[in-house]
Amino acid sequence: MTLFNVEESGTGRQANNVFAASIPEAVRPWFADVAHNSRVARALSALGSASEGERRWAQDVLGVSIRPAAV
């Protein structure tokens, strides 16, 4: 299984070596202050989507970048 590194552009927070299915839960605490916002909640869920388009939209909304982790 592929691991990913996630970085939030506003604060520089990072989650390293995260499985794709775990990305939404790994970054959810970063957005606790705005999680009540429906757009943010939808974007958090979309980070785990199988659709590349939805994941890209979510990354844009949340200001995060997701890259494969170095092996």
Q: What is the pLDDT of residues 9-68, one digit of tens each?
A: 989 999 999 999 999 999 999 999 998 999 999 999 999 888 889 999 999 999 999 999
pLDDT at 50: 83
Q: Where are the domains of the chain?
A: 3-68
Contact 39, 58 (CB under 8 A): no
Whole-structure pTM value:
0.88
User: Which residue, among 6, 2, 23, has the nearest Cα to 64 in the 3D structure?
Assistant: 6
